Chains A and B, each alone.
Chain A
């Protein structure tokens, strides 16, 4: 029983170690970029909207 538990455990952590960094890379790569010619003063700055939790 210990052995089966260990195998499942190893499979889960191997999957997480591969999948999570990939997903994080995709998330940050797909984040909208501010255009180079965007105005310096913006209404969507953190100080303007209060930010998310």
Chain B
């Protein structure tokens, strides 16, 4: 989180993340170019520039598949959550690798074209009426254009300028870019040569991503539909029992409209806030309280417990909700309070605190 815009706010985690990523890219390219020709006759019989374009093309597909798998994996198993932290750098590097592939293609096939390279690319194949002969280059160009736009707009400046809903909507176009990449590979490389490894990477990756996204979506949908029980004392809803909340952590309830509410327990008090981080809609209730601040598990954005505002100089805010205890049941009024409303945590009675403290260890 930042109060001013800098190209990248580096920290140790980001440096390690990017270091591992770059090392992985270098290792893949070296293995592909050096071991590939030894293992595959298809690579041995082609020129080095073609080997290079295949190396970068297949790497772009692999990286895009991994980028798209990180989100649902983190939803299904929280151990994948650290991969989300710097996913944008992963995406930007994917766009750079894809652009390098395109550069090799233009340089090899259209170097001596009498027309400009891009014109030649778009006019060299006009078999629009053929299915198998359809110009696969168009799908690749479309996917690359989307990846470049997403890479350029990945900075928090654009997130703030475009607002999170619009930014999110634009960045969901990466799914269509992925579909275009699959068609590009199928119509191009896979029809041209029956490459087992590339086929597995394309079709296996597609199957894996569809399963992961649909399973994660189904679980989320089930949580949405299981709205928290209402009480006779409407509009209050029962979010859970105070004994279920570990110190510094939260339980998550769902308002009748489906919006989720997180109730945090800190130092004998309960505070209810929206489960939606104002940065990128991260699930705040799956985060924890760090140094007295609710901390989003995705990118570390922080909010005060008492008013849902980020500490100065930051300006992010989330909505707060009224919370109360009925016995040990935690009740929340699903009507959100205006942004910035100050509401002190509700104290957990001493006897409840004592009886529930041992149920769950400290987070």
Interface residues of chain A, those whose CB is within 8 Å of chain B, are 1-3, 5-6, 8-10, 12-14, 16-17, 19-21, 23-24, 26-28, 30-32, 46-47, 50-53
Contacts and interface: CB of A to CB of B under 8 A. Distances in A.
Contacts of A3: 224, 257-259
A13 B179 CA distance: 10
Contacts, number: 99
B175 A16 contact: yes
Contacts of A10: 213-214, 217-218, 221
Given A20-B182, A51-B193, A52-B188, A6 B224 contact: yes
A13 B182 contact: no
6 contacts: A6-B221, A8-B172, A9-B217, A10-B217, A20-B179, A24-B186
Given A27-B187, A30-B131, A5 B46 contact: no
Size class of the contact patch on chain B: 35 or more
Contact of B203 (A2, A24, A32): A24
B132 interface: yes
B54 interface: yes
Contact of B188 (A8, A24, A53): A53
Contacts of A6: 217, 220-221, 224
A23 B183 CA distance: 8
Which 8 A-B residue pairs are closest in the complex by CB-CB distance? A17-B210, A10-B217, A13-B213, A30-B131, A3-B258, A52-B192, A53-B53, A31-B132
Given A2-B259, A8-B172, A31 B183 contact: no
A51 B41 CA distance: 12
Contacts of B203: 24
Interface of B: 42, 45-47, 50, 53-54, 57, 101, 104-105, 108-109, 131-132, 164-165, 168, 172, 175, 178-179, 182-183, 186-189, 191-193, 203, 206, 209-210, 213-214, 217-218, 220-221, 224, 257-260, 275-276, 281, 283
Nearest to A48: B45
Contacts of A19: 179
Contacts of B218: 10
Given A13-B210, A17-B210, A20-B206, A1 B191 contact: no
Contacts of A46: 42, 45-46, 192-193
Nearest to B140: A53
A24 B205 CA distance: 14
A20 B236 CA distance: 45
A32 to B, nearest CB: 6
Contact of A9 (B131, B172, B186): B172
Given A5-B168, A5-B281, A27-B131, A53 B186 contact: no
A50 B46 CA distance: 6
Contacts of A24: 182, 186, 203
Residue among A8, A12, A52 having the largest count of chain B Cβ atoms under 10 Å? A52
Contacts of B42: 46, 51
A9 B216 CA distance: 10
A32 B187 CA distance: 12
A1 B192 CA distance: 44
A32 B191 CA distance: 9
Contact of B186 (A17, A27, A47): A27
Given A5-B281, A6-B224, A9-B172, A53 B132 contact: no
B330 to A, nearest CB: 21
Nearest to A8: B172
A31 B186 CA distance: 11
Contact of A17 (B45, B53, B214): B214
Contacts of A8: 172
A17 to B, nearest CB: 4
A19 B180 CA distance: 12
